[in-house]
Structure 1
Amino acid sequence: MRGPRTATTAVIGTVLTGLLLTGCTAFGGDDSVPKPTRAAEDATGQTPKPDSTPGTEHVASKQIVPAGTVVAETDAVSKSGDTSIHVRVVADDHGRFEAQFSDYRTTEPQPMTVEFRRTAKYGDYWDNAAVAATTWEPNADAPATVSLAAAGAYPDWLHDVVLVPAPKEGGDSDTRPWVGSVLAVGALPWKLPAPFPDLHVTVGKDRPGAYGYVFGKDGKVFSDGGTPSTYQVAHGDEQTTVAERFGITMAELRWLNPTMKVRDNGWIYEDTILNLDPATR
């Protein structure tokens, strides 16, 4: 099924290369290849600034709730109940959030890491996409706070907070084989206003700069009717044009996909699976 699309893309790429060398363009109007860009105004009219993770786009925002507002609170607890920590997420003074920790207890002191994940369950292993990870030693107190700034202005895409036993200096995998596996999990019940409450995704015709496949909730290639669920990024897909194809703004696309990686030329990484459903953000 991918073959015809790949061949078509190769032909388009060959034509474009030849025309660009002569200073011409193969497309006009809405189907023209977009000029790569990283900047776009968000819902507040401000231009978002990239965070410390290269290529990760977040929705920039003014203060969405008053500083000090508790927007999520939970307990991450092990299956046995022997290890737990209380977590509160609170708005700071800069339009971002911090996690506050209290009541850490365990019957088996060991190096421990707390981190926030998009999804998690007991026994899950390392997650390189985890946010705000911080580790402490057995003879030290758990941290009082950690910043969630890396999660952007709407961190409610982080659905779980976890405790993960950390390795000891010098290694100890033979005596602690559970190191790196999720020991305790707490679901985060967020209370944040949606920035785009009336967001509606439509499926437009594929085009240069937005030439990937759309899938429905059943995992099959989307056809007329039904609700689009995900989009597989094709080579050369550019974030502005992808947003235009689905009738949304780039800020809305970033909100739907808070971990979306974008190259310096504005292209989204090929084969990335983008979310198109606000309910599964």
Structure 2
Amino acid sequence: MAVFELLYDWAFAVGVATGVLLVAVGLPAWRRSVFIYRLEGQIPQVLRVLSDAAAAGLDLKSAVEASASLALRPMAQVLRRVLSLTEMGGLTVEEAFWQVAKEVPSADFRRFALILIEAARSGARLPEVLNVAARSFATVVEFRQSVASQLRPYVALFYAVMVVYAVLADVLVYFLLPQLAKFTPPQAPVGGIQPYLLSRDTALRVLLISGGVGGVIGGLVVGRVVYGVARAGLLHGGISLILVTVLLWAPLWLGI
């Protein structure tokens, strides 16, 4: 019971600390999701650069070096990792690509690496193969970006719902409850039932718990729908919990 009493007395600190913990847990998954999204979006561009470099007569390693110098992050970092494995690890370009493909958590990047490896090993006309692959990947990336652009507003909607919840909770706690207290004079128990009006502190804590649970569940849903990984939504769940906690206690700090 002592633990629950402590949580009850330090509700604001517990709310903020829990939000920070959720952010810390969800941030790595969110960053990985963003990394994969950006990496896969840059595959068609890299394939075109590799195709042009191969058509100009460069070997595969030189083509990768040219692509690494022109690509944006995070693809540039991945290609430099491939080159470092060839220079420091003694691997061929094909072996280095497959090694990196096993390290990167992206099915599309593994397909990209497999196409590049098989085209280089088979002796096929590399520029033509890479150009066809670039068009295929471009279609997939365009579709996924279109879906992502349609889902992204749900993140803003999630935060809007949490802000509205906090504002309505403030109206209830700081305006309606005092008015109800004025119209509920103390009186003797009637039929063994003692009239009871919820106090402001109790109401704040109940609303904080309700908002926190709703924020975490909503964040998990947002993570699963928008990022494909529920854990990535814990970042938004934690931020929303901190936001609700601050908004619930802000009128108290302002002397309302």
TM-score by length of 1: 0.27
Could you say which structure has the larger radius of gyration?
A: 2
> TM (normalized to structure 2)?
0.28
**Highest relative contact order (Cα 8 Å, sep 6+), 1 or 2?**
2
User: Whose helix fraction is larger, Structure 1's or Structure 2's?
Assistant: 2
* Higher percent of residues as strand: 1
